[in-house]
Amino acid sequence: MVITGSISERADALELAKSDELDVFLYTKSALANMEDGKLGTSGTGSERAMEPGKFFLIGDDPRLPQMPTKPTLLDFFKFRARSTNHLLQSATHALKAGMSEKVIMACLLHDIANAIFIKSDHGYWGAQLIEPYVDEEVSWAIRAHQALRFFPDESVGYPYPELYIKYFGAHYEPDEYLKAEYECARNHKWYMTSRMITVHDIYSFDPNAVVKWEDFVDIVGRNFRQPKEGLGYDNSPVAHMWRTIRRPTKYL
């Protein structure tokens, strides 16, 4: 189908085509997504593809992903963009039961948000940046620092080097120099213990029988996360584009 005519005629035609939108759109992959598969460069972007009759590069919501509200909240992102949030909920529940402060509970609840909905590499840094405009500075600082602290034991609070990391990375793994430097800085910081508590309450093995639910944290999130009224991604904050990209990861431009 070739769509021509006025803007409104084209809009109508596009509406019709939406019924079969999975066939209408041309999907591309970003350089980062391809690098995760060991390949370089973007793919599926050639101009010859756009010559396919009735086909358009995707420039909006990806119909293969769950649709999101127009003004999405933090919980919407977890609901529609995460495969599971059990790890976060279990960690936050552990902190809650231990009587931790709301800042620590929030930090535990969001500490691996990057793993859950964005990027795994350097997840502590990405996660902290993503939420920085919306939480207390101490919370985002703690999430950023947990990236490094997780690799360094603190016996004073019963945090050994995780056994699991020996299995995951081998007994001879040594954290990168920038992580060692970050650890040295963080251990003398006034908020060290907030970040350290993330590692203490980090649950390394998921308990399938544990009952964890978002309802237990709605009030804490309400008090500790400044949800923008325009929706995350549309409040013109320095990180709004990051939320928009999570919402529409395959948008052509």
Report the nearest approach of Fe ion to the CB of residue 91 (Å).
Answer: 6
Q: In this chain, which stretch among 13-21, 30-38, 111-119, 182-190 interacts with Fe ion, using CB under 5 A? A: 111-119
Report the nearest approach of Fe ion to the CB of residue 123 (Å).
Answer: 6
Report the nearest approach of Fe ion to the CB of residue 71 (Å).
Answer: 29
Q: In this chain, which stretch among 1-9, 46-54, 56-64, 108-116 interacts with Fe ion, using CB under 5 A? A: 108-116
The alpha carbon of 25 is separated from its chain's Cα centroid by a whole number of angstroms, namely: 25
Q: What is the DSSP string of 27-68?
A: P-B-HHHHHTTT--S-BS--TTGGGSTT-EE--S--TTSPP-
Dist CA 82 CA 19 (whole Å) = 26
Dist CA 168 CA 30 (whole Å) = 28
Place of tokens 């995780």: 162
One symbol per residue from 57 to 76: x for binding Fe ion (CB under 5 A), - otherwise; what is it? Answer: --------------------
Candidate residues 74, 78, 104, 112; the one interacting with Fe ion per rule CB under 5 A? 112
Q: In this chain, which stretch among 72-80, 105-113, 137-145, 229-237 interacts with Fe ion, using CB under 5 A? A: 105-113
Say if CB 170 and CB 178 are below 8 A apart.
Answer: no
One symbol per residue from 197 to 216: x for binding Fe ion (CB under 5 A), - otherwise; what is it? Answer: -----x--------------
182 is a site residue for Fe ion (CB under 5 A): no
Report the nearest approach of Fe ion to the CB of residue 125 (Å).
Answer: 11
Residue 113: φ, ψ to 5° = -60, -35
Nearest-10 crossing angle of helices 102-110, 86-97 = 160
Q: How many residues bind Fe ion (CB under 5 A)?
A: 2
Q: What residue ranges bind Fe ion (CB under 5 A)?
A: 112, 202
